[in-house]
Amino acid sequence: MKTLFIGNSYTMCNDLPSLFAGLAVAGDIDPAASSGVSASGGKNLKWHWHDGPARSDIESEHWDTVVLQDHSMAALEAPESLAEYGGRFVELIRSHGAAAVFYVTWAREYAPETQSAITAAYASVAQRTGSSAAPIGPAWQNAIAAGGPRLYVDDHSHPSLAGTYLAACVFVATVYGCDKKLLSTTGIAAPETGGMLSERDSVLLQRVAWETVRT
């Protein structure tokens, strides 16, 4: 399966697309999994539609799945833009034979109470377009409640390696529907910082991902 990720720094941090494909391969879920990325820091879906290369990236190759991530504040500050451009992208993606998955982003660390509104905005556009939604933000809430590792870096917005790993696990569970097979839990490293994720944390985050997607 080939998956294209469209987004911004939340997608680029710790190379989420490669980690997602690598987990699918290492877990023998999809030995031929591959990913692509069309991302630019701070951008939203409106920018991707009008100014970025995302549309041509969708059209230039055969993708099985395309992930759509809007700006981290879009669901709160511009839900109408998320709905409009999310809908436009879904139509384009379907016209090229792929499935669309919305990347439900997480709340800022200092404003966890906003998660319900973020989740609702993505759920609305996903339901209206008949698409899937990967519940990354709700999984972050569940991992924090379970005493998992810190998911944020010091800016209280972007993901640590643990945060990106949890997002990748949620995408594996959403895209492939796999919840019974343990993925690789060793050698998970952050390409930007060289940090490592412990096996204990990997197992905990996988469990949270599967349980969140199932609910």
pLDDT tens, residue by residue, 5-64:
999 999 999 999 999 999 998 888 899 999 999 999 999 999 999 999 999 999 999 999
Q: Is the CATH code 3.40.50.1110 the one for domain 2-214?
A: yes
- Alpha carbon distances (Å) from 188 to 27, 34, 153, 193: 13, 18, 17, 12
pLDDT tens, residue by residue, 111-139:
999 999 999 999 999 999 999 999 999 99
pTM of the model as a whole: 0.94
